[in-house]
Amino acid sequence: MRKLAHWLWLPPLAFLAVFYIYPLASIFALSFREGWQPALLQLLNDSAIHRVVGFTFWQAFLSTALTLALGLPAAYLLARYEFPGKRLLRVVSGVPFVLPTLVVAAAFNAVLGPRGWFNQALLAAGQQPLEFINTFTAILVAHIFYNTTIVLRMVGDFWSRLSPRIEQAASSLGANGWRVFTRVTLPMLAPALAAAALLVFIFNFTSFGVILVLGGPRFATLETEIYYQTVALFNLPTAALLALLQLLCTLVLTIVYTRLSARLSRPVEQRAPRLRLLRAQPARWLSAAFLAALALFFVAPLGGLAARSVTRLETDRRQEAAAPGFTLDYYRALGDDPRNNIFFAPPLRAIQTSLLYAGATVGLALLIGLPASWLLSQQQPSRLARLLDPVLMLPLGTSALTLGLGFIVALDTPPLDLRASPMLVPLAHTLVALPFVVRSLVPALRSIRPRLRQAAAVLGAAPAQVLRAIDIPLVGRAILAAALFAFAISVGEFGATALIARPEYPTMPVLIYRLLAQPGALTYGQAMALSTLLMVFTGGGMLLIERLRIADVGEF
Amino acid sequence: MLELRNITKQYDGKPILAGIDLRVEPGEVLALLGPSGSGKSTLLSIVAGLETPDNGQVLWAGVDVTHTPPHRRGFGLMFQDYALFPHRDVFGNVAFGLQMAGQSSSQVAARVSEVLHLVGLDAFERRDVTSLSGGEQQRVALARALAPAPHLLMLDEPLGSLDRALRTRLLAQLAEILRAERLTSIYVTHDQEEAYAIADRVAILNAGQLAQIGPPQELYRQPASEFVARFLGMQNLFSARIEAGQAHTTFGEVPIANQKPGLATLLLRPDSVQLGTQGPFTLSGTLQRKQFRGSLWLAEVAVQDAVLALELPSSVRLPAVGESLDISFDPAEAVRIFRND
């Protein structure tokens, strides 16, 4: 058994070495191909790079601050009060987080874009349309939309565990409301607040799809600049340098975050206090209005997207006869190639491509994730296992663009020329999915305590029956959940795919991006329909994962 | 019936069980009592077949089952942490053993509702086991162990993780169920009150060896060793030097018969001492503390350098704390000597 354990490390280790370490090393090599000085000089002197870095930090900072401003009052209300629809608000706020960036971009486009609900209504009323797409506001709003749930969950959960007695003690000692908040509540919340803020910042810092699609060409962050340098200018050395800078920043941020969240797990006060009902009349109505607006903010874009995909708001030049109103034309048109050139595959083929890639990703991720998870779930993991646990999580701290660039730089020359291989995209997706797959498998594998097998044996189950009745059902669900994770990540992945997908075989997110950039009502409708389908695929996958989770399968 | 012969087990060279001989008669409830680490759970695992002994034999009805795998023994085991199957509901858990025995689904359904009724969980069949309270989980685990009608039911600290009030209530129900089903059972616990309440006989295990085995009253009246006396929570244990029919202790000399000179530990039963001088042997002391407990007084009396804890009937009139009083007892009944040499 011990011997086997050492061999089981081989697949995950080899995979990470070839598809993670080697590409990153290639980025290093490319950046420093002429030594340290030229690279350093370019970093120091290139004012374009300075602007990009400055804007990356600025948008991430502003997005984070606004997310906190919106999330904290809601976290407070969730933590301290009972109100109807509370569970629903929690669920609804979490939905954007699991959706692909292209779905979110398309959703905001469906509501506030030039062809969206709001502007079509303005046009119909003879008003000037509102400019939202390709503005800084769009970036900020989408980031808030994505990350508010982090504040609600991390700060809200922590807050709800803080006993209100501590605050009551402070006010009995003479502190007024403001002082209780600043001197008692805020310091106690600080670790959760800092960890949530940092996590939101990291997500905003590495955000790609939102900035590319909603911000447009006027806004360049490290991520979009890597994309631009690679795809448009084919300036790989500069892209590599930017990727290195990005890697350094995320590395520092991730290390600080890990430190902070370790402090967070130290319980302050574990007893859940009884929740109150908000009674004071003005506060009550104000809170209700705020929470309702928040819920609407989470629901409206997604609902707007789905509705827009089945509603014609304007007549297409090519379809003069078609009247505005309910239509399934956009779905019927999924088989049509809108532009009929190499960059515009019919949406149906993109769906096919995405599903094939997702299938391959699921297979690969399980092939590599299962042995790794099995080893990590052992009662006494070997020293190797403990070392490789953080290594497996590494891709999580690396931006998708950096991973994609690494593939381009490293895997296009012999001995590993995978440029034309259909496995290139699934390999990248597997890298992105692996941490999630491992994280969902390990607790499930751990939950199969030897006790359960013993209990089954004592009840008369022969070894084969134990396998069938205990091991397979318990692991089976976990494997299914992990597979769904890999599937949802693969169909939604945009950053790495945008760099490495073959032009004639775009995936769903890549094609949505292309369609949104094109004129024409039918093209727009196709984008809406394709985005809605992608939303259903990923949302449905995540919903299934929730349902598969065995309530209390963790450590006893 | 179950017979254990010279069961020995070591872990990493550390002896866990050192030669256990034990019989459990048909229909008997035997409590296995001992401090944690005394080897109770290991012994249970060996009987269940989850572990094999290094030496010795497990016999059931005269047949050696030492190397029979657990699923062919037909024994039931209720785990300390219940080990309920998280992916099966209450019905699925209770039905498991019956399904393994290949019973038809109508037989299974009938038996499941029968045992669920027995443990008071009617209408719980479709509940998710992870959503149940501790007491409910305990009863599901019991029902699951009972359902296949095992020849021998083993319970490993079944009430261990529950709170006091719930334990008392479930203990009474459990005793009733075991008696009603006339099940041959082994009940492992570290709580003497549980053992007294449920067992026909109690076996006390200490460091892998049987310290004493017998009915609860016998253990209480005649503990076989200082360990047993201490483990059963008896107070008034004093070291004593025995010379010429006298035990010399910190509270004076007590006459004792039939003991050779040497070192010993003396146990004075708290409930065999009376107030006044009517008994054969009298001591004088000072009342240090008294506590009224309804049916009795708990009194602490300082006699010379020792403090004796006494249980006196609540009908007696005790003097005020700090006043002197006489107590008397019959050494033959109230005193027990454990030799230390």
User: What domains are defined for chain A?
Assistant: 1-18+322-556 (1.10.3720.10), 46-269+283-308 (1.10.3720.10)
- pLDDT at site A104: 94
C-alpha distance from B318 to closest chain A C-alpha (Å)? 46
- pLDDT at site A321: 53
User: CA triplet A395, A397, A403: central angle to 5 degrees?
Assistant: 50
Nearest residue on chain A to B143, alpha-carbon basis: A459
- The ipTM value here is 0.79
Q: Is A500 in contact with A428 (CB distance < 8 Å)?
A: yes
Indicate the residue of A457, A462, A552 with minimum beta-carbon distance to B130.
A552
- Inform me whether the pLDDT recorded for A343 exceeds 60: no
Residue range A37-43: mean pLDDT, rounded = 81
**Is B148 in Cβ contact with A452 (below 8 Å)?**
no
**Per residue of chain B (341 residues), what is the pLDDT tens digit?**
899 999 999 988 888 999 999 999 999 999 999 988 888 989 999 999 988 999 999 999 999 999 999 898 989 999 888 888 888 899 999 999 999 888 999 999 999 999 999 888 999 999 988 889 888 998 999 999 999 999 999 999 888 777 788 788 888 888 888 888 888 999 999 888 889 989 999 999 998 999 999 999 999 888 999 999 999 888 899 999 999 889 999 998 999 888 889 999 999 998 899 998 998 999 999 999 999 988 899 999 999 989 999 999 988 888 999 999 999 999 988 899 998 87
**Is A470 in Cβ contact with B85 (below 8 Å)?**
yes
DSSP string of A17-49?
A: IIIIIHHHHHHHHHHTTT-HHHHHHHHHH-HHH
Backbone φ and ψ of A324, nearest 5°: -60, 150
Domains defined along chain B, listed by start: 2-231 (3.40.50.300), 237-339 (2.40.50.140)
Q: How far is CA B105 from CA A77, B2, B101, B108, B143, in A?
A: 51, 32, 11, 5, 17
C-alpha distance from A446 to closest chain B C-alpha (Å)? 13
C-alpha distance from A90 to closest chain B C-alpha (Å)? 21
- pLDDT at site A381: 65
Q: What is the pLDDT of residues A504-544, one digit of tens each?
A: 889 999 999 998 888 888 888 889 999 999 999 998 888 88
Indicate the residue of A449, A452, A460 with minimum beta-carbon distance to B100.
A460
Q: What share of chain A is helix, strand, coil (3-state, %, to 5)?
A: 75, 0, 25
pLDDT band at A371 (very low <50, low <70, confident <90, very high): confident
Alpha helices in A383-461 (DSSP H): 383-393, 400-410, 424-447, 450-458
Residue range A435-452: mean pLDDT, rounded = 82
- pLDDT at site B184: 93
For residue B101, the chain A residues in CB contact (below 8 A) are 460
Of A174-178, A265-269, A353-357, A467-471, where does mean pLDDT reach its minimum? A265-269
DSSP string of B45-66?
A: HHHHTSS--SEEEEEETTEE-T
Residue range A25-45: mean pLDDT, rounded = 84
Q: Is A226 in contact with A402 (CB distance < 8 Å)?
A: yes
Averaged confidence pLDDT in chain A: 84
Tell me the pTM. 0.73
Q: What is the pLDDT of residues B163-211, one digit of tens each?
A: 788 788 888 888 888 888 888 999 999 888 889 989 999 999 998 999 9
A507-541 exposure pattern, b = at least 16 Cβ within 10 A, e = fewer: bbbbbbbbbbeeeebbbbbbbbbbbbbbbebbbeb
Q: What is the pLDDT of residues B78-95, one digit of tens each?
A: 988 888 888 889 999 999
C-alpha distance from B96 to closest chain A C-alpha (Å)? 7
For residue A474, the chain B residues in CB contact (below 8 A) are 86-87
* Strand ranges of the sheet holding B324-329, from the earlier edge strand across to the other edge: B274-275, B324-329, B281-292, B296-303, B306-313
Q: How far is CA B288 from CA A358, A442, A498, B158, B309, in A?
A: 81, 61, 87, 40, 10
Q: Is B177 in contact with B118 (CB distance < 8 Å)?
A: yes
Separation of alpha carbons A129 and B275, rounded Å: 102
Output the six-digit token pair for B285.
């002391």
Amino acid at A431: L
Output the six-digit token pair for B90.
């209450």
- pLDDT at site A552: 39
For residue B87, the chain A residues in CB contact (below 8 A) are 473-474, 477, 550
Residue range A255-266: mean pLDDT, rounded = 73
Write out the residues of chain B at the interface with chain A, using a CB-CB cutoff of 8 A: 48-50, 69-77, 79, 81, 83-87, 96-97, 100-101, 128, 130-131, 144-145, 148
Of the candidates B269, B326, B276, the one whose C-alpha atom is nearest the C-alpha of residue B301 is B326
Residue range A242-254: mean pLDDT, rounded = 89
**Is B50 in Cβ contact with A457 (below 8 Å)?**
yes
The neighbour count for residue B243, using CB atoms within 10 Å, is 13
